[in-house]
Amino acid sequence: MKLGIIGLPQSGKTTVFNALTRGNQPTSMSGVRFDVHQAVVDVPDERVNKLSALFKPRKTTYAKVTYADIAGLDGSAGKSGFSGPLLNQLAQMDGLIHVVRCFENASVPHPAGSLDPQRDLQMVDGELLLNDLLTVERRLVRLDEEKRKGGGREKAIIEREITLFQRLQETLSAEKPLRSLELTPEEIKLLAGFGLLTLKPVMVILNLAEGETPPSLEYNLPGSALVALQGKLEMELAQLPAQEAEMFMDDYGITELSLSRVIRTSYDLLGLLSFFTVGEDEVRAWTVPDGATALDAAAAIHSDLAKGFIRAEVVDCETLLELGGLAEARQKGKLRLEGKDYLVHDGEIIHIRFNI
């Protein structure tokens, strides 16, 4: 899972990046400059900890999430859309984290001259919409030329694509993100190479000052979620040793660091789930889309397992932990054999039987 952190200048993007990654990237307030910082972090999962304690493997591997701190949005995409390097970075992301400034700081003036989270939210959303609209309109022009000239693809195929892009154009012109459309898997696959940003899920982070109450914002778009956090405080806590951080969290009434909350919300937004493989060699968490089959899970582990798939042995994590191991689960008849079309559920332990 790869998530891009975006927002207007001085919104606290790098502060949030540091809070989520336990990093210490300088929080420069020097204005707009295209730059990208990335960090890969473990997905906190107490189930992995418990399984590791049970099996005592030589290696424990958590699921991973990559955060990218992407500068460059300043509310002035204009008629040309985003620059090539910026668009290339944004298009690679599975989802976007939009940081909205809600804190006052006289030493760091807001670039617009005043604090207005609703305005800032709509400004960045407008840039994403505009960029997609320009992409869609350019594609329609090319499709029209292809249809008139002929000699390439079948006209029926071109017509279907024109119809699809006209739907996209109508949606964007109505100032609605493309994720509000119901698209078929075939249509989603066709659009994959166009870098359409409003197809991506968006988590809006309200970046608060210490002790500040979140503002009331109107934001109920599909594929979106709002999360409020005290960015600077969370960054400072994330950079402390674990025991010290817990003491300060108790003092401030913070029950969990933003890293866990943001990842949990990201999984929900992107429609992802985790399954586990266990043994003496390794306990490992894997991430697959909700709706993945046992065959998809096998492919996530290794392509050879999918090629030689015979059956999947499946047991729920909590059941395994209660019984004390795979042998006990097998004896109690809790280790089920499932076929390649079996739908994987979050928290299951899966062992693939295969033959190459």
Per-residue pLDDT of the chain (356 residues; tens, 9 = 90+): 899 999 998 999 999 999 998 888 876 645 445 678 899 999 989 999 999 999 999 999 999 999 999 876 776 665 667 888 888 899 999 999 999 999 998 888 888 889 999 999 999 999 999 999 999 999 999 999 998 887 778 889 999 999 999 999 999 999 999 999 999 999 999 999 899 999 999 999 999 998 889 998 888 888 999 999 989 988 988 888 878 888 888 887 777 777 788 888 899 899 999 999 999 999 999 999 999 999 999 999 999 999 999 999 999 999 999 999 999 999 999 999 999 999 999 999 999 999 98
pLDDT at 247: 84
Provide the strand spans (E) within 113-229: 202-207, 224-229
pLDDT at 77: 62
pLDDT at 23: 82
| pTM, 2 dp | 0.88
Q: In what order do the strands lie in the sheet with 224-229?
A: 36-42, 64-70, 2-6, 95-101, 202-207, 224-229
Six-digit token pair at 242? 């674990």
Distance CA 187, CA 352 (A): 32
Radius of gyration of the chain (CA): 23
Tell me which H or E stretch contains 159: helix 155-173
Distances (CA, A) of 231 to 29, 41, 265: 15, 18, 17
Topology of the domain comprising 291-354: Ubiquitin-like (UB roll) (3.10.20)
The secondary structure of 200-216 as a DSSP string is S-EEEEEEPPTTPPPP-
pLDDT at 335: 94
The secondary structure of 33-78 as a DSSP string is ---EEEEEEE---HHHHHHHHHH--SEEE--EEEEEEE----S--T
CB 13 within 8 A of CB 99: yes
Six-digit token pair at 351? 């062992």
pLDDT at 83: 81
pLDDT at 260: 82
